Amino acid sequence: MNSHQDAGALIEGIYDAAMNPENWEAQLGQICDSLNCFAAVLYETDQQKLLSLRSLNMPDESVTEYDDYYLQTDSRIHFGLANPHIPVIHDAMHNTEAEKDKDEFCIWMRKFGFYNYMATRWDQDEGVSGIGAFQRSKSQGLATEQEVDLLTLLYPHIRRGMEISRSFGERDLRLEASGEAANLLPFGVVLLDSDGTIIFMNYMANSITAAGDGISAGPTGLKISHRDTDAALHKCLIATSGPSCLLSAGGNISVQRPSGKRSYTVSISPLPTRDVVFAKHRPVVAVFISDPEIKAQASTDALCALYGLTPSEARLASQIATGISLDHCAAQLGITLETARTHLKRVFSKTGTSRQGELIHLLLSSIRKTGDLVHT
């Protein structure tokens, strides 16, 4: 492959792999074919350990042994560090065949059929280097001038592709972690764009809307079964997401339920926005749905760990947190009212509270992080 058109196809493939990491192996295969190589690896290292890696035809054993020992003795990296102005390095620059026959690293590489190489290296943040190495067999010989020119052309795109891939990967991890955290909340969270399209719903919001008891979700967004309330919701959404809305805008709506259960409380809040080039959807409104039929009940293990309660005290405190009376708690736990009073007195002492209302407030604050949700 030696035409600019073919090089353009390789560059396009690099950026496709940057956006779709599962395509890196196939793209490395295309680059290897063009460079007359048979194996490749893209990796980041702090010179002590491998930090990330994408490879083609690199045996797992070679990666493990390289990370455990041979990274420290890699003559290619040492040459690259000493010559940072050279974008592409290869054997002929720093190793004769006789020297390679004696070099510990080169001898080890031959165990996997890697006799010659071409590589690029660049500095990243905090002492981290990015490296793209392409391995050649003995029969493939040393890199030609034409092949070096092609890798020199591809080098900045490989570098940028790896940077984009890392940036997108870190972003995806943050989004996944944020979503998982939202799924732990005891209320529904829905993010909408400016036309009401649902961008995100947490586990509780999915559960509430799937029940269809007054609120549902569809392609056009949230829908409330009561017509007047639905109109009020969308009027509030329009006011909240409009171009002239203030961050103090928003509102609260009570949603009656056909089942006769206590009404949902729906709170609407605008979100800070910024212009993102070519963004089709962006969240501008957050909707929070609270179900009063769901009560939080604290994990007894969590209460023991947080406040040093005994298991018996924690079981009583967990019942107290649901808002039921002390005599009802005693009946639920199968203990006498006098025993319940003794446990409660100790719970007050260990939690630094003196009244049940104060204790419930403290426990509910703890439950937001540690508790379970119970339908009553």
Q: What's 25's domain CATH number?
A: 3.30.450.80
Token pair 């003995």 in the structure block, residue: 138
Sign of CA dihedral 258, 263, 264, 268: positive
Residues 6+ away with beta carbon under 8 Å from 365: none
- The reply to whether 210 and 301 lie within a common domain is no
- The reply to whether 259 and 231 lie within a common domain is yes
Decide if 206 is inside a domain. Answer: yes
Decide if 70 is inside a domain. Answer: yes
Decide if 351 is inside a domain. Answer: yes
- The reply to whether 58 and 189 lie within a common domain is no
8 A C-beta contact, residue 38 and residue 32: yes
- pLDDT of 256 over the 60 cut: yes
State the pLDDT at residue 241.
Answer: 61
State the pLDDT at residue 297.
Answer: 65
- The reply to whether 265 and 226 lie within a common domain is yes
* pLDDT digit string, tens, across residues 195-209: 888 999 999 999 999
- The reply to whether 62 and 88 lie within a common domain is yes
129 bridge partner residues: 45, 123
Helix (H, G, I), strand (E, B) or coil at 137: coil
State the pLDDT at residue 296.
Answer: 61
Decide if 180 is inside a domain. Answer: no
Tokens representing 65 are 């042994």
Query: In the predicted model, what is the mean pLDDT of residues 276-280?
Result: 65
Distance CA 127, CA 146 (A): 32
pLDDT band (50, 70, 90) for residue 115: very high
Q: Which amino acid is at 196?
A: G
- pLDDT of 351 over the 60 cut: yes
Domain enclosing residue 234, as ranges: 185-292
- pLDDT of 364 over the 80 cut: no
- The reply to whether 208 and 266 lie within a common domain is yes
Helix (H, G, I), strand (E, B) or coil at 121: strand
Q: Which of 276, 292, 308 corresponds to the end of one domain?
A: 292
- The reply to whether 252 and 105 lie within a common domain is no
State the pLDDT at residue 57.
Answer: 93
CATH number for position 194: 3.30.450.20
- The reply to whether 16 and 133 lie within a common domain is yes
Q: Which amino acid is at 352?
A: G
* pLDDT digit string, tens, across residues 26-55: 999 999 999 999 999 999 988 788 888 899
Q: What's 195's DSSP letter?
A: T
Helix (H, G, I), strand (E, B) or coil at 16: helix
Residues 6+ away with beta carbon under 8 Å from 290: 187, 188, 264, 265, 266, 267
Give the distance, in angstroms, between the CA of residue 144 and the centroid of all CA atoms in the same chain: 42
Give the distance, in angstroms, between the CA of residue 205 and the centroid of all CA atoms in the same chain: 20
pLDDT band (50, 70, 90) for residue 276: low
Query: In the predicted model, what is the mean pLDDT of residues 337-364?
Result: 89
8 A C-beta contact, residue 119 and residue 88: yes
Residues 6+ away with beta carbon under 8 Å from 280: none
Distance CA 182, CA 201 (A): 9
Number of domains into which the chain is organized = 3
Distance CA 193, CA 367 (A): 31
- The reply to whether 220 and 90 lie within a common domain is no
State the pLDDT at residue 129.
Answer: 87
- The reply to whether 242 and 192 lie within a common domain is yes
- Torsion, Cα of 255, 257, 258, 262 (10° steps): -140
- pLDDT of 375 over the 90 cut: no
pLDDT band (50, 70, 90) for residue 279: low
Alpha helices per DSSP H over the chain: 4-19, 24-35, 60-68, 75-82, 97-102, 104-110, 145-183, 203-211, 227-241, 300-307, 311-320, 326-333, 337-351, 356-370
- The reply to whether 32 and 168 lie within a common domain is yes
CATH number for position 326: 1.10.10.10
Q: Which of 265, 292, 319 corresponds to the end of one domain?
A: 292
Distance CA 117, CA 100 (A): 12
State the pLDDT at residue 105.
Answer: 92
* pLDDT digit string, tens, across residues 142-173: 999 999 999 999 999 999 999 999 888 888 88
